[in-house]
Amino acid sequence: MPSAYDHSASLNIDENPEANIPDKVPENPTNAGQLSGNSSVESRLQKLEKKMSSDMAKREAAAKAIAEFNASQEADLGSTEEGWGWIVVKVIQYIIGFTLSLYALFITFYGLSNGYSKSSPCSDNMKALHEKYDKLGGTCEEGDFHPILVIFFLCTLLTVLAFCEGTQIALMLLEKVRPRDISSDIYCYARVKRTHEIAQNNTERYLLGRQIFVTGIVFMVAKLIGMKPSFAFAVSDTEGEQLDGRPNPANNPTAEGLGWFGGPTLVSVFVDTGFAGSLIVLAFGQLLPQLIVTTIPLLQYQLFPTYEIIWIQLFCERLGVAQMAGILRAFTRYVFSLEDEDFGVGSGVEFAVNADATADDEDEELSCCTSFWMEVPFWQQVIKVIIGLTVFVGSIYFILENILSGKSDFTKVYTCSADDVETAVNTDANGTFDACSYVGEPKRYVGVAYPGWIPKDGLGDVSIWIQLLFFLPFSNIIMGYLEGSQIAILALEKAPPKVVKRTNRDAYFGHKLTQQRDNVRRYLLGRQFMVVFVDFIAAHSMGLGGLGILVPVSQLYPQLLAATNPIWFMGTWGSKGVLLLALIMEFLGFCHFSWGLFTAFIVLRKLFRGKDAAENADVGSVGQAVDISGGSGLSEEDMQAVDDVAELQRIVVEQQYRIAALNKTLEEGTNEM
């Protein structure tokens, strides 16, 4: 088969007709000169027609085989979530999800509205509880904000977080969509075009700035809704005698007591661990906007202030506080000899959503607002590296200082009061302790092993050794795979399975799993639950200083690595484990409150649209059919074929080329006649 059509010869039947008519047409003519001889033009055309018919028959046979293969694949992957068994499972999932989330909303806002947040000042009732129950010990923790102000800050932070999460999903889904495929008839087209341009050309910079923004917000939310130790005593407070220095559940509850709704164990599990706060952040700040944007990605670009938030996040990246992520990414790519993959973010591969768009459309010149963030002078890069290293080292110091000095929220020990600071030699019911330097400092008792603290019984104290040796390393490792796997899955959402399988068989497992049914959205649910829960644990244990490690090392570094090498990252053992774990978390129903809200949104949207969603798919949405063949003419069945159909694909392409060459030969011959 020729590599290109040969134009070196042409038909010349006007000069010597009989001499130039061929006796025999070559089986594979490559130019018009091979058709010269003593045969008639009609005979030549008949033979060419016969040859073309044979080629078309082969192609139809290949297409039929491909269709049969795909039909068998669809039969193997057919819907299994049918029948009464699955209906019962789904009902249980929704019951669990709605019960947990509604209780989390109730118990959190009950505490915030009554001033039990650590950010709110102590009321007389809180001070009375410290005097009433010996197990509380110490003094009440004072805050600075009125309860109404705390609730306002919480709602504001959740709104900004929702924009950040929705923008990330929209960017990953639209990053390979050509600007010309976005209809100019949509609302706010100019804003969408501007936002798409700046996001598509600054993807990595946006990921850096966004993660600083998002994790900082989650940390602030965790600190904002963290409850005072007296909250657990207040909601379980009862009248009458105490039970071992705690409220006696057998007695009648007081005015603020909630009975079994405020059980000590229940409150400790939901509030002290950050579980309730995680469910609230998940439902309204992350999962719901993520799920909505997977269906309507362009909606995020239409909203105000998405474009402005992207600018702020790019500014955060320009500061260089997360520059350590780029350094670690470059080191990893060097060690493993990684090159940019075709389906990596910023690879230049585009998905043709609109078949009518011509391939020769010229790219428009980038605006100054976009190119400004793309052009970073060398001296600024040097400053960013210095700042990034400084933040990294400083964060390690602040994390260790937060845990070892007893400032961690998981450390529940006896602390010094104002009277203890003024006294040189201190003694209480637990023994003698060293002089105190400030109010709230943990008491260091004489004769007690390092660090010399005595935990308060029943309040859930976590040893500093568990925090240092378990919480710190494992939370960062798990977070890394959670963040990187999300980028890899979304980047490969439109990739052909055959390409992934031939490139990296380990990655094919995760890619194939996420392509089935609604597994992408399910993964988003389970993964986001785990991310937020780990964030809350990190915020309570490491404090705000943990941002300097968690953001660049545990979140941005794997995100950037997966952005350029999604197939490689998907093939790592941690990504496969995290994928399964995330799907299990979603199956348990922890996040079905968000799924229920999303379902309600989709139902309302269909009622308003009044059109079939499949016929009006939104550009870039998860599951939307795209063409990545580059206009080669391959059918959808051809592109989805894998392994044993590969030979059939090659035959189809070859036959297409040969038919095109024969047609061109005929056209040129006819013109010269």
pLDDT digits (tens, 9 = 90+) for 54-72: 767 666 655 554 454 454 4
**263-264-267-268 Cα dihedral, nearest 10 degrees:** -160
pLDDT at 370: 67
Answer whether residue 145 shows pLDDT above 70. Answer: yes
SS3 177: strand
Tell me phi and psi for residue 243, to 5 degrees. Answer: -120, 100
What's the pLDDT band for 396 if we cut at 50, 70, 90?
very high
From CA 412, how far away is CA 406, in angstroms rounded? 8
- Residue carrying structure tokens 């520059």: 323
Please enumerate in sequence order all residues whose Cβ is within 8 A of that of 449, keeping only pairs 6 or more positions apart, or say none.
Answer: none
SS3 431: strand
Q: What integer is the mean pLDDT of 382-395?
A: 90
Q: Are 537 and 274 in contact (CB under 8 A)?
A: yes
pLDDT digits (tens, 9 = 90+) for 463-519: 999 999 998 998 899 999 998 988 888 778 767 777 788 778 888 888 888 877 778
What's the pLDDT band for 372 if we cut at 50, 70, 90?
low
Lowest mean pLDDT among 229-233, 296-300, 415-419, 662-666: 662-666
What six digits make up the tokens of 64? 């039929």
Helices in 543-591 by DSSP H: which ranges?
A: 547-549, 557-564, 566-570, 573-587
Q: Are 354 and 181 in contact (CB under 8 A)?
A: yes
pLDDT at 293: 84
pLDDT at 393: 92
SS3 185: coil
Lowest mean pLDDT among 160-174, 260-274, 602-616: 602-616
Answer whether residue 282 shows pLDDT above 80. Answer: yes
What six digits make up the tokens of 73? 């694949």
Highest mean pLDDT out of 50-64, 416-430, 629-643:
416-430
pLDDT at 619: 56
Please state whether beta strands 426-428 and 431-433 pair in parallel, antiparallel, or not at all (unpaired).
antiparallel
Q: What integer is the mean pLDDT of 21-46?
A: 51
Residue (of 211, 189, 180) closest to 301 by Cα position: 189
Q: Can you give the pTM of this predicted structure?
A: 0.69
Q: Give the DSSP letter of residue 455.
A: B
Q: What integer is the mean pLDDT of 386-408?
A: 91
Answer whether residue 20 shows pLDDT above 80. Answer: no
